[in-house]
Amino acid sequence: MRIVVLVSGTGSNLQAVIDAVQAGALPVEIAAVGADRPGTYGVERSAAAGIETFVVDFKQFADRDAWNAELARVCSSYEPDVVVSSGFMRIVSAEFIERFDGKYLNTHPALLPAFPGAHGVRDALAYGVKVTGCTVHWADAGVDTGPIVAQRAVVVLPEDTEETLHERIKVQERELLIEVLGELARA
């Protein structure tokens, strides 16, 4: 199974996928890693691992439609079976989703449908939940909507801050993403 991974930041989930692939534990080929802005550590990690990288800089386009079209074109050029949004902080268009025939996999640091959006961990803490977690789902044109593939729960500790809780969620998110990709590759 060929994947293209999209990142916006450090790429810690991506690094877990790279490590699993290099260890022979995950039967996927990372065709490329792309970002929405230059200078992301996720792209640097990928380049260091010998993986092809690209940047479709959001700021270089006149509007969101033009950016989406170019992102879709570049991703398509790698002929992926699945495009993985892993900490990718841009909402892609319905046309982007359709281009990949609904094979756009997203990770989210909350138990969807609760706490969608960019601040799932902060929102869960503010609401006072005792359990939150992470979700891997097939993205659709909504914000953190689409069919849920898998979830993992994480208990909220009384002393948790947004940072400590998010770090514990990331551990589960990495494991869950690798598990889901492995199941998809073996299907």
Q: Mind telling me the catalytic residues?
A: 108
> What is the token pair recorded at 154?
């994480």
The two counts, helices (H) then strands (E), for the chain are: 6, 7
Give the CA distances from residue 52 to residues 30, 34, 43, in Å, rounded to whole numbers and listed in that order: 9, 9, 9
Stated as kind and residue range, the H or E segment containing 12 is helix 12-22
Residue 25 has, within 13 A of its CA and on its CB side, a CA count of 11
Give the CA distances from residue 73 to residues 56, 69, 137, in Å, rounded to whole numbers and listed in that order: 10, 6, 23
